[in-house]
Amino acid sequence: MNAPARGAWLRAGISRDGGPLRETEHVVWVQAGAYYADSRGFAGRTSYDGEQVRFHHDVGEPGDDTGTLASDGANLTETGTNPDGSTFREVWGRLPDDGGPCGAWRAGPVQVVRAGAHVVHVDDAGGTYLLLPGTR
């Protein structure tokens, strides 16, 4: 499936090379149309070739992520292979309060994406997740 058109997700865990699903950090992904921002410090555009979603890193940490998304109940599961041949599986849970205002803004080396109460800001220093007060 293609990346959802809008929303905010919290990563529930990541498995590398078939290992156990673990989570050691607070990772949020926000999507608005073709634009996304990831609190790990990269943002850009998504594209879909009919099988895989590609997250083009236009801002922040260089690179591209390519994987297959699948709906798993209320969660999304992303699986793929890294450029070094290692594999990953990430499970993402939808965050509440991601309806309402939605958009993406880019100015030079900064990209900000919002879905409802959730905002991720990415620049050369990294990514920042914000939960807007008064929007819940």
Domain boundaries, the chain: 6-131
Here the tokens at position 12 are: 């529930």
Lowest average pLDDT, out of 13-22, 91-100, 126-135, goes to 126-135
pLDDT of amino acid 135: 62
Greatest alpha-carbon span in the chain: 44
DSSP state of 115: E
Whether the pLDDT of residue 62 is over 70: the answer is yes
Architecture in CATH for domain 6-131 = Beta Barrel (2.40)
User: Sign of torsion, CA 27 132 112 94?
Assistant: positive
pLDDT of amino acid 84: 85
Cα within 13 Å of Cα(135), Cβ side: 17
Q: Which residue has 């390519």 as its token pair?
A: 66
pLDDT of amino acid 72: 87
* pTM attached to this predicted model: 0.93
Q: Cα separation of 81 and 87, whole Å?
A: 4
